[in-house]
Amino acid sequence: MIFNLMIPQRKTRKIKIGDIFVGGDAPIAVQTMCATRTQDIDATVKQIEMLKNAGAVLIRLAVDSKADVEALKQIRPQTDANIVIDLHENYRLIEALAPYVQKVRYNPGHLYHHQPEISPYDKVKYIVNVAKDNDLALRIGVNFGSLDPKDRAGKDPLQVALDSAYEHCDYMEKLDFTRYVVSLKSSDPQAVVNINTEFAKHRPLVPLHLGVTEAGMLPDAEIKSRMAFEKLLANGIGDTLRVSITIADSEKDKEVSIGYQIVTDVESGKFSNFSRDYSEGINVISCPSCSRVENGKFIQLAQRVREAVGEFEGKKLTIAVMGCRVNGPGETDHADFGIWCAPTFVNLKKGTNLLGQFGYDVVVERLLEEIRKG
């Protein structure tokens, strides 16, 4: 745990999550997420322990199905970590998993998938009631790559994301529930600074979870995270954070050690002051992978893409490489070229157009051909 010495006093409310507090005068909580398949119980328990030993105080798992809930029931007795569940489209799973965890994250942009006849407010009411009954905290996790399509059409994603967060905070207040945090994530570090600064101005009491999503591989993932976190933390914004890195499972603890290093540096007044403009050169955006990754070859694929596009050094080019369909379609829309994984093939896009579906062994060459065409 890190105590704030140089970081200005945060004004957010302090909430309890399992055996820790987040917000207010609580230490900034460094957290992360497992990249293993949740149903691979041994691998998931092993990774939870590795992350916990590295200092992660909250560890997130994806639970998307009843089979994942069954796996969670077996994982729970094997660890005393504070477990956070990442809910995807099937929000009703919260009832089955709630007794086994300390916090649940839902994404407002995914609530429209299931039971479209039920209003988002009624869905949130259901989630909140389960949270109240089971002593859970919640996170409203807004992500630029997965905003509700009906909200984002033709609008500034920053404003759409903010409006979504405000709307869900209003739901929480109406439901008399204060034990929640908000995250507003983008793959663009400056957008993360702007949107969190704006949110903190309007909702100063709500604890914020900071993250640059799809930050890619090292060293860029650390640089992008530092570019966002240093500015925000130095202004007293941010109560918990996660560094996202596209990295092998065996090295996932680096997300935690780098997270702590950033907080330690800021609190001792040490700043890297990176100001790289990723929109001006080659920018490979890639997700950190999680239980939902469609094929275990994803990490290698992302690494191969980054090496291969080195031949275009000096060109202005953004390439998004995503592990699954959750943020795959949305995040690749904003890139010059996008790749997102399916179980046996890879989708290749130019802007918003799908160029085709290709095998894992040939897609990098196809990408290079398309880039060379200009």
Name the minimum Å distance from CB 110 to ligand SF4.
Answer: 10
* Cβ-based nearer residue to ligand SF4, 305 or 326: 326
Name the minimum Å distance from CB 291 to ligand SF4.
Answer: 7
Cα 66-149-363 angle, rounded to 5 deg: 75
* Cβ-based nearer residue to ligand SF4, 38 or 164: 38
Name the minimum Å distance from CB 24 to ligand SF4.
Answer: 30
Q: Which two tokens stand for residue 40?
A: 């691979």
- In one-letter notation, the amino acid at residue 305 is V
**Residue 203, number of CB atoms within 10 A of its CB:** 17
Name the minimum Å distance from CB 90 to ligand SF4.
Answer: 14
Name the minimum Å distance from CB 118 to ligand SF4.
Answer: 24
d(CA 167, CA 43): 38
Q: Which two tokens stand for residue 284?
A: 């490979």
- What burial letters (b/e) apply to 171-180, b meaning 16+ CB within 10 Å? bbeebebebb
- What burial letters (b/e) apply to 41-54, b meaning 16+ CB within 10 Å? beebbbbbebbbeb
The residues that touch ligand SF4, with contacts defined as CB under 6 A, are 287-290, 292-293, 322-324, 326-328
315, 285 Cβ separation under 8 angstroms: no
Which own/partner pairs from 21-27 qualify as long-range (CB within 8 Å, at least 24 positions apart)? 22/137, 22/181, 22/207, 22/239, 22/240, 23/181, 23/207, 23/239, 24/207, 24/239, 26/239, 27/1, 27/2, 27/3
* Cβ-based nearer residue to ligand SF4, 220 or 267: 220
* Cβ-based nearer residue to ligand SF4, 245 or 290: 290
d(CA 215, CA 32): 14
Name the minimum Å distance from CB 146 to ligand SF4.
Answer: 8
Residues 6+ apart with CB under 8 A from 331: 144, 145, 146, 187, 213, 214, 285, 287, 320, 322, 338
* Cβ-based nearer residue to ligand SF4, 240 or 289: 289
**Residue 248, number of CB atoms within 10 A of its CB:** 13
* Cβ-based nearer residue to ligand SF4, 262 or 293: 293
* Cβ-based nearer residue to ligand SF4, 152 or 185: 185
Name the minimum Å distance from CB 87 to ligand SF4.
Answer: 12
d(CA 103, CA 135): 9
- What burial letters (b/e) apply to 226-235, b meaning 16+ CB within 10 Å? bbbbbbbbbe
* Cβ-based nearer residue to ligand SF4, 268 or 352: 352
* Cβ-based nearer residue to ligand SF4, 48 or 233: 48
Name the minimum Å distance from CB 369 to ligand SF4.
Answer: 25
Name the minimum Å distance from CB 204 to ligand SF4.
Answer: 30
Length of the chain: 374
